Amino acid sequence: MKKLLGVFLLLMIILISAILIRSALSSAPVNDDDDYAANAGYIRELMTLDAAWSLATLKAYNTPDSNLDQVAGFLPQVREARINLESSSLTAAEAPSVLKNKLSRYLLLIEGKEVVIEHFKSNFAVIRNSVKYLPLAAQALTQALRSAENVEINDEIVDLFERTNSFLRNPDEGTRMRLLIDLSRIHENVMSYPPDIANPLSNFTSHARVLVERKMKLDDSIERLAEQNVQQAGEELLASYQNYREDLQAKQQKDRQLTFLINLGLLALLILLGVLSALFLLVTDFSFSKRLAAEVAAKTEHYEKTIAEVSSPSLDKNLSESLDGMGRMAAVLAHEINTPLGYLGGNLQVLYNGMGKIQSLMGEVKAMLEDVAEATDLEEVGRRIEAFNDVALGLQEDAMLDELPEIAEDMQSGIDQIQHIIDDVKDFTRKDRSSSDWFDIRQCIDRAVKMSRAEIPESTRIDSELTDAPNIFGSPAEINQVLINLINNAAHAIEDAGREKGAIRIKTSIEKNQLVVSVRDNGQGFNDDVRRRIFDPFFTTKDVGKGTGVGLAIVRRIVANHGGKVMVKSIPGKGSNFAFVLPLNSIKNKETDAV
């Protein structure tokens, strides 16, 4: 008897150990949650830094006088995030090679990005300076040429200056090469001129060359920053890491289920043995079986919990996390748009709430009208009117109706803001600012007035008298620039005249199949001497530093490019009238060109 009991007990100990060992073994390898969370966190961190880095760089590009400390400040953070990933278990020998390849590709792209940003910073700094200085250098040079009475290369300099400027607006390889050749030809001969020409000439050609050489490099780095490939590589890495993890989990889940079944069998055996032992022990060791029962209960609870966990895998929170890697730039935009959308939505809600009341008012009106039409019972009509009155009063008390205009205004400004944001994005992404299209001159004028208004004192009135005109084919951006230049000149002339009340009048008319746009001011005007030279590049009556004297030269060039011409009349002390004509009959030709 005792021997049998001993065998039972031995078996039970073995079984219990087996169960404990199995459960210990089966839970151990699943416990890599922390590892996964940490690695996914590192990837996401680098992705966030990457996006913020691009944004900071692009922001510096768009901010005058920005300093690049912030952009440089990303370096240590990126380095740390990179080191975290490089030393993570993702690079361990047992990590799958697909994952390792994706990681090393991502890290390489991040490294490449650093190079792009460094080149951006260097080119940006130089270009920012030379863009500012080139007109001054050109001005100094033409002055030197004028006083040396050397007109021979003056025209060429003017031409080079305009070509350089137009290259900066629309850089292309062909123009770049031609400009570089022309510039270096002049630069090589610098020494053949006397020093008072050689120095400004060398300054001018050097700056123009630097601009031409670096502009496309700068654009290239900006384009590369705006590309999403680094971000995508990060997303791909994260996605494949998640897949890998899910596969791993599925496999482990299967293992766990199997383990669970085996454990269940062992447990059944254990219970059976326990019962048998209890029968043998019965009275002598009751407490033992009681302890066993408690243990069995605890174990069962443990497995029930396991079953519960296995059968309802906690909805993968990583799924939602993976979404936040997608284009953080888009997130910033979304944020910008979100605010105006917020009050658009809020106001719509107000309208929607009010709508119910208006509807019930309408219902009352309808019922009242029906009753009045039948008019059998005056008392009934009276009650109807009262009911109607109640609803109407309620609506009035609600003040919703009073608020309607305000609500509409708010919503309009929300829409305007979104439009503004979208315009900004469009402006930023538009590569070719001077691309041609059919456009309405009236809209163009409206826009130019709005844009210049910001810098013109309120005491100056700008009004316009615009006739109906067919659409024009050309570059709205360039015509816009023409208008802005003319309006600004008019404003400066008014300011110089010290007028208390300035007036700028913009008028369009159609004469002999030509569109005439005139900008008239009551500024100080100018005499014939000035009028003759007014379109010469670098000719300016403004103080040094206030104007480069190229504004009107640009006006004339753009108008000429559109097949038109610029005319000017002025009476000293009274004001000036600048007008440009654009031929309407050339539209057909332009149209075929465009197709």
Partner 1 sequence: MLCIGYMPTIHAGTPLTNEPIQPIPLTVDVDSAKATLGRELFFDTALSADGDISCASCHNLKEGGADTGKRYSIGHNGSEGGINSPTVYNSSLLFRQFWDGRAETLEDQADQPVTNPVEMAARWPDVLARLYENPSYPNKFQQIYSDGITRENVKNAIAEFERTLLATNSPFDQYLRGNENALTAKEKKGYELFKNYGCHSCHQGVNVGGNMFQVFGAINNYFEERGNITKADLGRFNVTGDSADKFVFKVPSLRMAKYTAPYFHDGTQKTLLDAVNAMFRYQLGREAPDSDKEAIIAFIESLAGEHLEMKK
Q: Contact residues for partner 1 (CB under 8 A)? A: 65-69, 71-72, 75-76, 79, 115, 118-119, 121-122, 125-126, 128-130, 132-133, 137, 199, 202-203, 206-207, 210
C-alpha to C-alpha distance for 202 and 183, rounded to whole angstroms: 10
- Where would I find the H helices in 148-169? 154-169
d(CA 135, CA 28): 73
User: Which one, 115 or 425, has the nearer CB to partner 1?
Assistant: 115
Closer by beta carbon to partner 1, 171 or else 564: 171
Beta bridge pairs of residue 132:
none
Least distance CB 360 / partner 1 (angstroms): 56
Sheet holding 565-571: strands in order across? 460-465, 502-511, 514-521, 575-583, 565-571
Q: Of the candidates 269, 262, 260, which has an alpha carbon nearest to the alpha carbon of residue 303?
A: 260
Q: How far apart are CA 69 and CA 159, in angstroms?
A: 38
If the CB atoms of residues 67 and 592 are measured against partner 1, the closer one turns out to be 67
Q: How many CA atoms lie within 13 A of 262 on its CB side?
A: 16
Nearest Cα to 493, choosing from 432, 554, 427, 552? 552
Q: What is the DSSP letter of 521?
A: E
Min dist CB 395 to partner 1, Å, is 51
Give the shortest CB-26-to-partner 1 separation in angstroms: 36
Torsion angle defined by CA atoms of residues 511, 512, 514 and 516, in that order, rounded to the nearest 10 degrees: -20
**Closer CB to partner 1, 67 or 97, in the complex:** 67
Residue nearer to partner 1 on the CB measure, 167 or 578? 167
CB of 417 to partner 1, least distance (A): 25
- Phi then psi dihedrals of residue 510, to 5 deg: -115, 120
Q: Which is nearer to partner 1, 1 or 544 (CB)?
A: 544
* Cα 347 from Cα 192, distance rounded (Å): 73
Residue (75 or 294) nearer to partner 1, CB: 75
Q: How far is the CB of 568 from partner 1 (least distance, A)?
A: 33
**C-beta closer to partner 1: residue 77 or 464:** 77
Q: Nearest approach, Cβ of 124 to partner 1 (angstroms)?
A: 8
Cα 92 from Cα 87, distance rounded (Å): 8
Strands 514-521 and 472-474: unpaired
Nearer to partner 1, 84 or 514 (CB): 84
Query: How many residues make up the chain in this entry?
Result: 595
Please, what is the minimum distance in Å from the beta carbon of residue 76 to partner 1?
8
Residue closer to partner 1, measured from CB, 72 or 408: 72
Which helix (DSSP H) or strand (DSSP E) does residue 538 occupy? none
| Token pair belonging to 128 | 């920012």
- Least Å distance, CB 64 to partner 1, is 10
Closest approach of partner 1 to the CB of residue 204, in Å: 9
The CA-based dihedral angle spanning residues 9, 11, 17, 18, taken in that order and rounded to the nearest 10 degrees? -160
Type of residue numbered 100 = K
Partnered with residue 566 across adjacent β-strands are 580
Per the structure block, which two tokens stand in for 253? 């889940």
Q: Which is nearer to partner 1, 65 or 458 (CB)?
A: 65
Q: In whole angstroms, how close is the CB of 50 to partner 1 at the nearest point?
A: 17
Taking a C-beta distance cutoff of 8 angstroms, is the pair 398, 354 a contact? Answer: yes
Residue that has been written with the tokens 């050489």 in this structure: 213
State in angstroms the smallest separation of the CB of 121 from partner 1: 4
Distance in Å, CB of 144 to partner 1, minimum: 12
Q: Considering beta carbons, is residue 134 or 237 the nearer one to partner 1?
A: 134
325 vs 36, 50, 111, 235, CA distance in Å?
Answer: 16, 11, 19, 6
CB of 185 to partner 1, least distance (A): 18
Residue burial 46-77, b: 16+ Cβ < 10 Å; e: rest: bbbbbbbbbebbbebbeeeeeeeeebeebeee
Q: Which is nearer to partner 1, 141 or 534 (CB)?
A: 141
